[in-house]
A = this chain, B = another copy of it.
Amino acid sequence: MADPPPSFDSPRQIVLQLTSSDPQVINNILYNAVNLQKFYGQDNVQIAIVAFGAGMEALYDKTTPVKDRITSLQQYGVEFIGCGNTMETTGHSPAELVDGVDVVTAGIAEIVERQLRGWVYIRP
**What residues make up the interface of A, taking CB atoms closer than 8 Å to B?**
1-2, 12, 14, 17, 19, 28, 32, 35-36, 38-40, 52-53, 85, 105-106, 108-109, 111-117, 120-124
Contact = CB atoms under 8 A, between A and B. Distances in A.
Given A53-B28, A106-B39, A12 B112 contact: yes
Which one of A35, A85, A114 has the highest number of Cβ atoms from chain B below 10 Å of its Cβ? A35
B109 A116 contact: no
A11 to B, nearest CB: 12
A36 B106 CA distance: 8
B116 A2 contact: yes
B14 A112 contact: yes
Contacts of A123: 17, 122-123
Nearest to A106: B39
A81 to B, nearest CB: 14
